[in-house]
Structure formats: C-alpha cells, structure tokens
Amino acid sequence: MWFIYLLSWLSLLIQVCFVTLAIAAGLYYLAELIEEYTVATSRIINYTILFSTGVLAGLYIFEGFPMLMVGVGLFTNLVYFGLLQRFPYILLSSPNFILSCVLVVVNHYMAFQYFAQEYYPFSEQVKMFFHPPCSKEMTWCLITSPRGSGGSALGSFWCSPSSKRLFCPVGRKCTDQLDSGG
C-alpha cells in the first residue's frame, strides 16, 4: 500500500511541474502577442475596463453593493484608464502605476471583506443554476441577507411547495406567491 501512496505523491509532483510549465509557456506566448499587436491589445484592455465599470455600476444599482466598495472600484478603473494613455510604455516608478498597484490590493480586500460578510452556502448557489423555472402554483422563496437588505438576484430563486424545506432552510423567509399577490 505504501508504494501506491508514494506513486500518487510522485504523480502529483509531476503534474504540478507540467501545469507550471504550461502556464509559463502560455504567458510567454501571450506576452509575445501583446508586444506584436499593441493597438489591438490597448483596445481590448479599454473595452475590458469599460465592461468592468458597467459591472460595478450594475452591482451598485441592482444588487445594492456598498457605495465605498463600488467607488473604490470605479476610481481604480479611472486610474487604469490613465495608465492606458501611455500603453505599452509604463514607468514602474510613476505615481499612476504605484497608485494602481495599491488600489488593486485595496479593491480586492474590500471585495473579500464584503463577500465574507454576505455568505451564501454553496448548496444554495448551485440550486440557483440548476433548478428549473416553476409555474404560478410554485412558492417564491426569498433569502434575506444577514444585513436585512431584502435579498438580491443572487439570493432569490423559485422552489416548489414539496421541496420547501429543501430549498428554504431554517431562518429563511418563505411566502406563498399567490398570497403575496405576485
């Protein structure tokens, strides 16, 4: 039994080495493409920042994300636009680059803090993607957030009366759709 155990660790080590080499080769190829097609890369980065700005605005408007977190994200995108003005020439000692490095850490810290407080169990997240839509006779289950924000698109889904306990754990507010006038 010890031989198979030793082989499994050896195979894991070999797999990690090959995955590391594959990622390195992919990044090298990507760097070559960026160097060759700087105008197209700049355009792609510009569209990506615009998309990120739209997502942040949508998270604030539709999901009620904290204004401070969204504001830091939008300011970070503004700093990225400043970096993009001189792309591909970026000075590592420029205040704009240093500020972007600091802001990416702050932005991620704030996002991790937010999602650590707004906890949704994995089983509830999976149910949102794999549970089919229901008819009017079904029950609407609203998962309220710990802060009492009334739920969000991430936390709401349809469930049937027969599976009410499965889809609506203790501590969640479940109301009959027909009674609520919906």
The reported pTM is: 0.58
Element (H, E) at 19: helix 2-36
Q: Cα separation of 133 and 135, whole Å?
A: 7
Are both 102 and 31 inside the same structural domain? yes
Are both 41 and 73 inside the same structural domain? yes
Residue 136 pLDDT class (50, 70, 90 cuts): very low
Single out the residue in 117, 134, 164 at which a domain terminates.
Answer: 117
Q: How many domains does the chain have?
A: 2
Task: Describe the chain by its helix, strand, coil percentages, rounded to 5.
Answer: 65, 5, 30
User: Domain containing 167: what range?
Assistant: 122-176
Looking at residues 96-100, what average pLDDT do you find?
94
Are both 75 and 165 inside the same structural domain? no
Task: State residue 137's pLDDT score.
Answer: 39
Task: Tell me what the pLDDT averaged over the chain comes to.
Answer: 77
Please give the single-letter amino acid code of residue 12.
Answer: L
Single out the residue in 117, 133, 149 at which a domain terminates.
Answer: 117
